[in-house]
Amino acid sequence: MQDHQLTQEEIAQLTEADWKQRLSADEYHVMREKGTERPFTGVYNDTNDKGIYRCKGCGAKLFDSESKFEASCGWPSFDQGIDNKAITEHVDNSLGMTRTEVTCSNCNAHLGHVFPDGPRETTGMRYCINSVSIDLDKEDK
């Protein structure tokens, strides 16, 4: 995990070669090439530990474990970001369909997609996130 959150200045200085060095091949494919990890394979799919999920690329705080829920879709799912500025939404017309992609607002890393089929008692949204895009900063017990 990142020791600190990278600043916009630090991110601006990173080349694609730097990203390839910082990230594993799977992380690079998902975060920089907008790939997707296979369902039910991610380390955080079944995790219930408490803490803050951070962007694996830059260390930005993205999701609180309190917003994580079991969606049985094969990827970690959250009903909201940690705040309105943590994640950016984009129209994604790839694969012959229209979806809403979510990226880290700090470093523009691809995180996954958001769908309007989450828990109705909260936001009604399901942020479907690739485990390789995030790190859990666990709460001290």
At 141 the pLDDT is 58
Establish whether 58 is an annotated binding residue.
Answer: yes
Q: Is residue 13 part of a domain?
A: yes
Whole domain around residue 78: which residue ranges? 8-138
Nearest to 22 by CA among 60, 71, 56, 47: 56
The reply to whether 82 falls in a domain is yes
What are the residue numbers of the active site?
128
Separation between Cα atoms, residue 122 and residue 83, nearest integer Å? 15
Higher model confidence: residue 30 or residue 121?
Answer: 30
CA atoms within 13 A on the CB side of 114: 20
Please check whether residue 2 lies inside any domain of the structure: no
Q: What is the predicted pLDDT for the residue at 44?
A: 97
- Is 73 annotated as belonging to a binding site? no
- Give the number of domains in the chain: 1
* 55: CATH: 2.170.150.20
Within a domain: 3: no
Residue 104 annotated in ligand binding: yes
Q: Is residue 1 part of a domain?
A: no
Residue 41, in any domain of the structure: yes
Confidence (pTM)? 0.91
Average pLDDT across the chain, whole number? 93
Is there a domain that residue 111 lies in? yes
In a domain, 56, yes or no: yes
